[in-house]
């Protein structure tokens, strides 16, 4: 994005030290937020949070060292917004995986310094002739990101027509961990899940999740808050959600990581994804002139 455009964004929406717009990698535009509690970086492409870190703590979100910053290309890490479908398109594998909104530039709608401890930005996008080639619906979506002692991401989908539409998606959150083999994830005990690595077999989680191999699981009929306990970084990460009854847990492990051009071979060791999702049987129908919310709230606690 040109310097002139960034200057215009700063003139209209900058809050000074708490929030400003800068030229980021690959000619993308970044929003830099810093207040008394934490700091964050957001890319206007995809309205994607790339970084969130409380002061004097390690980063909460994981961003690949080999992430590609290119117009129209997905960025590996942070919190990509997958919408209006999750994973491959159900009918056409040629369409972009995880929908299309993560690959387009969003507009800035509003910014607000709520207090010295909390800063908020709202971004939005809507249908265009190009999106209707991929998904034949008129829509408007807005994401509200609140940065402070907690990080809150609220995605709101609007239907401004007299016909309902159905969508899937996820807030595809990547978390930084000391060593994925040494963490445990609680909150999904005794929950049924679809094992995407075992022919979509339905299984039941026994105890906390400990990762010692590739995992790609969709936990069903759960609204539970998940907790990552990380003795190496001496912290817990709490992952709460709203508007979702499916939770995705993913780590590509050794062999799958080697197939990912934008992840270092050892990158799997320091990340895990826990995603507030609408997938499988948890697709969402937005009624005529209605709206629906998908939300996640992240917080940390020192061990």
pLDDT score, position 91: 87
pLDDT score, position 90: 85
DSSP per-residue string spanning the chain: --HHHHHHHHHHH--BTTEEEEE-GGG-EEEEEE-SSEEEEEETBTTEEEEEEETTS--SB-B-TT----TTS--SBSB-EEBS-SSS-SS-TTSPTTBSGGGSBPEEEEEEEEETTEEEEEEEEE--HHHHHHS----EEEEEEEESSSEEEEEEEE--SSS-EEE-EEE--EEE-S-GGGEEEES-TT-EEEETTTTTEEEE--SSB--SS-EEEEEES--PPEEEEETTTTEEEEEEEES-SEEEEEE-HHHHHHT-TTS-TTGGGGEEEEEEEE-TT--EEEPTT-EEEEEEEEEEEE-
Phi, psi torsion values for 133, nearest 5 degrees = -70, -25
CATH 2.30.30.280 fits 3-302, yes or no: no
The answer to whether 154 is a known catalytic residue is no
CA distance 95 to 72: 13
- Per-residue pLDDT, averaged over 63-86, amounts to 96
CA distance 15 to 77: 26
Ramachandran bin of 173, using left for φ above 0, alpha for ψ from -120 to 50, beta for the remaining angles: beta
Question: pLDDT tens for residues 211-233?
Answer: 999 999 999 999 999 999 999 99
Residue 191 has pLDDT above 70, yes or no: yes
Position 3 confidence tier, pLDDT thresholds 50, 70, 90: low
Question: pLDDT tens for residues 109-149?
Answer: 999 999 999 999 999 999 999 999 999 999 999 999 999 99
pLDDT score, position 22: 96
Q: Residue 75 in contact with residue 46, Cβ under 8 Å?
A: yes
- Per-residue pLDDT, averaged over 177-192, amounts to 98
Position 53 confidence tier, pLDDT thresholds 50, 70, 90: very high
- Per-residue pLDDT, averaged over 76-81, amounts to 98
Bridge partners of residue 296, in order along the sequence: 153, 241
Position 2 confidence tier, pLDDT thresholds 50, 70, 90: low
Exactly one of 172, 225, 281, 301 is catalytic; name it: 172
Bridge partners of residue 271, in order along the sequence: 176
Average pLDDT, the chain: 96
Quote the percentage of the chain above a pLDDT of 70: 99
Q: Residue 111 in contact with residue 42, Cβ under 8 Å?
A: no
Q: For the chain, what are the domain ranges?
A: 3-302
- Per-residue pLDDT, averaged over 57-68, amounts to 97
Position 1 confidence tier, pLDDT thresholds 50, 70, 90: low
The answer to whether 12 is a known catalytic residue is no
pLDDT score, position 302: 95
Bridge partners of residue 155, in order along the sequence: 143, 294
- Per-residue pLDDT, averaged over 26-39, amounts to 96
Question: pLDDT tens for residues 231-272?
Answer: 999 999 999 999 999 999 999 999 999 999 999 999 999 999
pLDDT score, position 119: 98
Least confident of 20-29, 188-197, 269-278: 20-29
């Amino acid at each position: 994005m040109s310097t002139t455009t960034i200057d215009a964004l700063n003139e209209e929406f900058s809050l000074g030290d708490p929030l400003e717009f800068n030229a980021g990698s690959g000619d993308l535009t970044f929003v830099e937020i810093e207040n008394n509690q934490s700091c964050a970086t957001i890319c206007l492409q995809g309205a994607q949070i790339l970084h969130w870190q409380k002061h004097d703590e390690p980063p909460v979100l994981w961003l690949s060292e080999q992430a590609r910053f290119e117009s129209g290309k997905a960025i590996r890490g942070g919190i990509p917004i997958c919408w209006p479908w999750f994973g491959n398109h159900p009918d056409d594998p040629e369409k972009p995986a995880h929908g299309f909104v993560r690959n387009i530039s969003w507009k800035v709608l509003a910014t607000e310094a709520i207090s010295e401890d909390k800063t908020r930005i709202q971004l939005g996008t809507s249908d265009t002739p190009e999106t209707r080639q991929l998904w034949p619906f008129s829509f408007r979506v807005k994401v509200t990101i609140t940065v402070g002692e907690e990080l809150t991401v609220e995605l709101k989908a609007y239907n401004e027509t007299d016909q309902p539409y159905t969508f899937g998606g996820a807030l595809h959150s990547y978390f930084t961990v000391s060593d994925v083999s040494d963490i445990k994830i609680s909150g999904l005990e005794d929950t049924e899940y679809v094992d995407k690595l075992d022919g979509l077999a339905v299984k039941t989680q026994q105890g906390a999740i400990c990762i010692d191999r590739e995992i790609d699981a969709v936990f069903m009929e759960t609204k539970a808050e998940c907790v990552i306990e990380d003795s190496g970084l001496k912290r817990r990460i709490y992952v709460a959600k709203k508007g979702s009854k499916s939770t995705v847990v993913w780590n590509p492990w050794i062999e799958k990581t080697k197939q990912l051009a934008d992840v270092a071979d050892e990158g799997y060791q320091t990340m895990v994804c826990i995603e507030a999702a609408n997938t499988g049987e948890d697709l969402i129908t937005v009624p005529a002139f209605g709206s629906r919310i998908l939300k996640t709230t992240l917080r940390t606690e020192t061990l």
